[in-house]
Chain A
């Protein structure tokens, strides 16, 4: 086998409350495509960011061509010939495509160090054409849609002509055709001797493209295998730590009357023609690609952003929800996707977080320590939150326990309808199982539950019914027994829809 270009040895990285990476191993050879897989929050992106100097490692070492290196910032890595596409888009909305592509390493001409705009536009045009994108390099980024931005990110990484190319979920918002074009480029680069790390959620892609696969779970290194020597089933087992049917023990709950009905919801540029119902005891799964409009829809139902159009009916009554406060008053709770920024006040303690949504239920609006402690302790026990006590800061809890505190906050409001947005993202396997069990119990108590998730096994395992969104619309609906990963994925990328992949 060819020599190792990049080696990561014993890498550990901690964030407040989370061990993102725990003694992880990874290596990369010239001319190979090495896939890095794992569930949401397994630590893939963190590993990539450590390699490019965005984050600094706590323990471990990096070798480049056999030499130990330290990258203090992305510039160091860039100079060493490492290019990366990050999961979060890193664009400059007001600047042109060319400038985005060349930011940090512009082409300059003559003695004055004048920026060579013409050359940059030309080169960008070329890069875009390689990806078969027909865009004017002078267009500003804020005019592009999510997929186009993603493609520009890719062009940006290609512009560096690096020997090592790291890609973090580059296909997460692309259509099949766009992804295929990207794969063609990636294969060509590999054949030219470029070493590529490919992070993806979609196992079919991984098997189609990669030469080797490395699996991470809960920040731990599980193993590396040649792609030819491992099956999809095995990779899944490595990723989730047990087989599928143990993972999602679905309770059979009698489904009652209608709780929520939404009709024809729309919000400009985000989603449209959304209609569905949720019944007592029902778990409604919502699947789709990143950027399909799922979170946006949930936010609008919860009153965070206004609807342009559409009706919300609760218990058979038409209801206007103008703010989260309205939503709470009507018994709707929403667990947001971003636990740290939207779910918790990290600098406050568990009991302050638990009671934040029920503050106006306190007598005379006076704080009452005893009452707060009582409520909080009830939920610490019910959700088995691992903590030193009510006064521990949310910041110092692990990801799974943080998520349980967010759940405690919502349960304290005694909702009838619970919308969960990626509830198990970035939490460990035990916590995941606990959250799944809890969701089942809440359904049993008669709550209507909407769960948005990008983990297909999770949606399929837990839901009674699944809606699939594509480009802001509901593309398909599956009953529990009809749902397959394949079918959902096809709908999510717009295959079954009438209007396919127009860009």
Chain B
């Protein structure tokens, strides 16, 4: 059992294959490359954030504000666009606002020394509130045609959605940083024992600020992608995304306590959730059911390693 646990990625792969077999038996439309590729857009926006969220959770932190940050950045983009500065400058602004939101999180966590959970719980409410204040009940639409290529288009000469290409590229880059650089090593170390890292002279606060800022930047990027896909901006976009992102990361084998996890696991978990979601939509299962499923998955993903440990007999007592 312990060996199996160490190969969590392997379990995920088996689950993924299982979902594929099950779904393709239940629906004839499932096992179609084109459909499958198209379905990836439903998780790539979340995936773009998940690659950095993995760093944040591995470092023993948490960012609950990402979805709200997406809404806030998208709202600013919408308003900027409506004021006539053009779509691409507006998109750039969106990235900057997202980044600023992340930076603000990082600063209150490191300067005011609030636990990340508490700080981002507050900005979760604040950023969503700002989105509402900016847009009220209205929606912004009428984005130009060329903007849609980003979220809806395909990589030139292929059937692969642009979004998916962006996601994979980011996953590769972030995976490299996590596993092959001293920065990644520091992130693991901080997640295992932050105090010891401070005493060892690692720039713990700087690393945290970087992580939260990048997470915000990616939330901005996700907001651009989402807007370009759904072609409109409302203050309630991306509701509950943080839940699904955190679920994917934890399901991917990242320890909620920090210090453990791999990028490949996170990517596999995203695929797993994406395939389940796609399959369930083919079966006409209501979206609300999906929320329940995601919530259950989150809890089970955290409980499972513990249960396996308990089953496999003795494991070091709780500290």
Contacts and interface: CB of A to CB of B under 8 A. Distances in A.
Interface residues of A, number: 29
Interface in A315-366: 323-325, 327-328, 334, 336, 341-348, 352, 356-357, 359-360, 362, 365-366
B186 interface: yes
Contact of A366 (B182, B193, B202, B260): B182
B202 to A, nearest CB: 7
A101 B43 CA distance: 56
Interface string A365-379: 111000000000000
A304 B199 contact: yes
Which of the listed residues A345, A352, A360, A367 has the most CB atoms from chain B within 10 Å of its own CB? A345
Contacts of A336: 199
A409 interface: yes
A345 B199 CA distance: 11
B182 A324 contact: no
Nearest to A303: B201
A190 to B, nearest CB: 36
A304 B196 CA distance: 11
Q: Tell me whether chain B's interface is mostly helix, strand or loop, or mixed.
A: helix
A104 interface: no
A304 B198 contact: yes
Contacts, number: 70
Given A362-B182, A365-B182, A365-B183, A348 B192 contact: yes
A61 to B, nearest CB: 20
B193 A341 contact: yes
Contact of B196 (A16, A323, A345, A365): A345
B197 interface: yes
Nearest to B186: A359
Nearest to B188: A348
A16 B314 CA distance: 13
B199 A347 contact: no
Nearest to B190: A345
Nearest to A335: B199
Contacts of A343: 196, 199
B3 interface: no
B316 interface: yes
A346 B189 contact: no
A470 to B, nearest CB: 26
Given A345-B192, A346-B192, A352-B189, A367 B182 contact: yes
B161 interface: no
B189 to A, nearest CB: 5
A345 B201 contact: no
B200 interface: yes
Contact of A357 (B184, B188, B200, B260): B200
Given A342-B195, A348-B189, 6 more contacts: A323-B203, A325-B202, A342-B199, A346-B192, A357-B200, A365-B181
17 contacts: A16-B316, A324-B201, A341-B196, A344-B193, A345-B193, A348-B188, A348-B189, A356-B197, A356-B200, A356-B202, A357-B200, A357-B202, A359-B186, A362-B182, A367-B181, A367-B182, A367-B185
Interface of A: 16, 302, 304, 323-325, 327-328, 334, 336, 341-348, 352, 356-357, 359-360, 362, 365-367, 409, 413
Which 5 pairs show the lowest CB-CB distances between chains A and B? A359-B182, A328-B201, A324-B201, A345-B193, A325-B201
